[in-house]
């Protein structure tokens, strides 16, 4: 017997933290074009439906959005975005079927304190995954738009509201936000369910991402200090064993263990 679908919790403020993930935890972004296409869809739907986007972060197999609904219910807005991207994705990769896992997850954001906490959490996702050392360095999030003015063509995020929470002066607000971003996060935030083990293919893709698209074999030509620093990052990853790192990189297991 199928269980009835639980109604989505309604936000009194109209602000939601949304998580959308790939079906079976599969990657939904493979190339720069994929990321750019999704952001283009968000901009088009945003312009038509007039919702506000306070933050976003596009990871390889999931998406975080911080949205303030305006003229349209959040469920309809997310359906427009998801259907548009899924149609493009299936055409691009000559496939059929679902791209996203079930319906999106959401949680209401009812006050300024939690709004800022969610913003910090979203922007720090790539740091926690060891993709970058500082959140503003990650290309596919809104953090950079908060740290410096973007060209009009690159603007996706409505930054004025959250900067205004910190200060009526834009530059003061920007400085205070950057200080806030450095604070440690202990709050329980909506996220995707984590899988304990990474596959070899996932680890190899992750290594190549950290190497800016260079092949895994690049590790063999690094000097010892640079390579050890890189391997230490890999050893911190959740769901990865040292033997698996050796297998994927082709390096001697002793090199991995001693790094």
Domain boundaries, the chain: 15-181, 200-258
Asked if 135 and 127 count as a contact pair (C-beta separation under 8 A), the reply is yes
Q: What strands lie across the sheet with 105-108, from one edge to the other? A: 52-58, 62-68, 15-21, 105-108
When pLDDT is averaged across residues 196-210 and rounded to a whole number, the result is 76
pLDDT value at residue 50: 81
CA angle 193, 242, 226 (to 5 degrees): 105
Closest C-alpha to 15, from 122, 146, 102: 122
pLDDT exceeding 90 applies to what percent of the chain? 42
How buried is 226 (Cβ within 10 angstroms: 0-12 exposed, 13-18 middle, 19+ buried)? Answer: exposed
Q: What's the pLDDT band for 142 if we cut at 50, 70, 90?
A: very high
Has residue 7 got a pLDDT over 70? no
Domain range 15-181, CATH architecture: 2-Layer Sandwich (3.30)
When pLDDT is averaged across residues 71-77 and rounded to a whole number, the result is 90
Compute the chain's Rg from CA coordinates: 20
User: Where is mean pLDDT largest: 2-11, 81-90, 95-104?
Assistant: 81-90
């Amino acid at each position: 017997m199928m269980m009835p679908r639980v109604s989505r919790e309604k936000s009194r403020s109209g602000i939601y933290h949304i998580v959308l993930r790939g079906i079976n935890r599969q990657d939904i972004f493979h190339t720069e074009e994929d990321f750019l296409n999704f952001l283009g869809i968000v901009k088009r739907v945003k312009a038509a439906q007039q919702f506000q986007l306070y933050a976003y972060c596009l990871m390889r197999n999931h998406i975080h959005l911080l949205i303030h609904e305006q003229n349209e219910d959040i469920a309809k807005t997310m359906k427009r975005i998801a259907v548009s991207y899924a149609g493009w994705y299936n055409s691009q990769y000559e496939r059929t079927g679902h791209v996203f896992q079930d319906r999106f997850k959401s949680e209401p954001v009812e006050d300024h304190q939690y709004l800022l906490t969610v913003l910090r959490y979203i922007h720090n996702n790539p740091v926690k995954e060891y993709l970058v050392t500082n959140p503003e360095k990650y290309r596919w999030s809104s953090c950079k738009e908060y740290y410096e003015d973007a060209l009009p063509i690159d603007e996706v995020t409505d930054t004025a509201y959250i900067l205004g929470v910190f200060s009526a002066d834009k530059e003061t607000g920007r400085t205070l936000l950057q200080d806030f971003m450095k604070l440690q996060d202990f709050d329980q935030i909506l996220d995707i369910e984590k899988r304990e083990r990474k596959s070899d293919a996932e680890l190899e893709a992750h290594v190549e991402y950290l190497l800016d698209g260079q092949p895994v074999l690049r590790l063999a030509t690094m000097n010892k200090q640079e390579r050890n620093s890189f391997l230490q990052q890999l050893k911190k990853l959740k769901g990865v064993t040292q033997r698996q790192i050796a297998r994927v990189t082709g390096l001697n297991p002793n090199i991995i263990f001693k790094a």
